[in-house]
């Protein structure tokens, strides 16, 4: 508003000067007219400025590590098309809750997804019977139960038959599951029983999330 008022004042001053006896401002070339034109151009240029480009996931991670000294993860929600930096807000044993400022949360147990909150179509709790196989890097089979909140607030369990096997890259374990007319595949990078990097299926509503530990 201050810039707009300045332009108006400059324009008014230029008009008054043009009505005076001095010929310096005739034809709009006097100093006051030039000042008014310059101010107008500055306001126009300011309005035309392009918005700052969005930060890359790497830049966002570097900034989060700089300003937040606690445990951090970076979560990429594929169906939502966005990456989020999430800070640990609570811990109960090996269970950690990571949250965004808008209170969207992932609940992880040593890197394995066991629940979500605030995302819609939330995973109430996951009960992976294949967890021991995954953490030890072994092939095998087991049952995975995924419980989801319904619109009535009740949990709806879905049970899947899963197998585990080493992935194409060293240290990666692949968990393949199917049931209820759908199938999905989770990928875990396992290091000393921990899962610092993974791609895990949240559910039919949210699809996959990639999780990377920025600071343990």
Quote the domain boundaries for residue 35.
2-48
* pTM, full prediction: 0.72
User: For residue 5, is pLDDT > 80?
Assistant: no
> Are residue 94 and residue 119 in the same domain, yes or no?
yes
> Are residue 80 and residue 33 in the same domain, yes or no?
no
Bridge partners, 200 (sequence order)? 209
Q: Which two tokens stand for residue 199?
A: 């791609």
User: For residue 122, is pLDDT > 50?
Assistant: yes
**For residue range 40-95, what is the model confidence (pLDDT) as tens digits?**
555 565 555 556 677 788 888 888 888 889 999 999 999 999 999 999 999 999 99
- Average pLDDT on 118-131 reads 96
**For residue range 133-183, what is the model confidence (pLDDT) as tens digits?**
999 999 999 999 999 988 888 899 999 999 999 999 999 999 999 999 999
Mean pLDDT of the chain: 83
Contact 196, 212 (CB under 8 A): yes
Bridge partners, 213 (sequence order)? 73
3-state secondary structure of 94: coil
> Are residue 13 and residue 104 in the same domain, yes or no?
no
What sign has the CA pseudo-torsion 16, 22, 26, 31? negative
> Are residue 19 and residue 108 in the same domain, yes or no?
no
Overall domain count for the chain: 2
> Are residue 74 and residue 152 in the same domain, yes or no?
yes
> Are residue 61 and residue 128 in the same domain, yes or no?
yes
pLDDT of residue 9: 39
> Are residue 62 and residue 44 in the same domain, yes or no?
no
User: For residue 39, is pLDDT > 70?
Assistant: no
CA 37 – CA 43 distance, rounded (Å): 10
pLDDT of residue 52: 60
């Amino acid at each position: 508003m201050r810039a707009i008022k300045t332009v108006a004042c400059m324009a008014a001053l230029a008009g008054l000067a043009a009505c005076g006896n001095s010929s310096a401002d005739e034809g709009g070339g006097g100093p006051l007219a030039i000042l008014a034109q310059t101010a107008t151009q500055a306001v126009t240029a300011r309005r035309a400025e392009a918005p700052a480009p969005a930060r890359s996931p790497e830049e966002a991670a570097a900034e989060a590590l700089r300003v937040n000294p606690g445990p951090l993860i970076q979560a990429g929600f594929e169906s939502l098309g966005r990456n989020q930096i999430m800070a640990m807000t609570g811990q109960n044993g090996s269970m950690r809750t990571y949250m965004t400022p808008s209170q969207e949360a992932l609940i992880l147990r040593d890197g394995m997804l066991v629940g979500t909150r605030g995302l819609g179509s939330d995973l109430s709790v996951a009960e992976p019977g294949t967890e021991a196989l995954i953490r030890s890097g072994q092939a095998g089979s087991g049952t995975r139960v995924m419980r989801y909140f319904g619109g009535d607030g009740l949990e709806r369990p879905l049970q899947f038959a899963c197998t585990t096997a080493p992935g194409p890259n060293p240290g990666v374990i692949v968990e393949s599951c199917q049931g209820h007319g759908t199938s999905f595949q989770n990928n875990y990078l396992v290091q000393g029983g921990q899962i610092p990097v993974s791609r895990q299926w949240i559910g039919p509503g949210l699809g996959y999330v990639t999780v990377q530990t920025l600071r343990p």
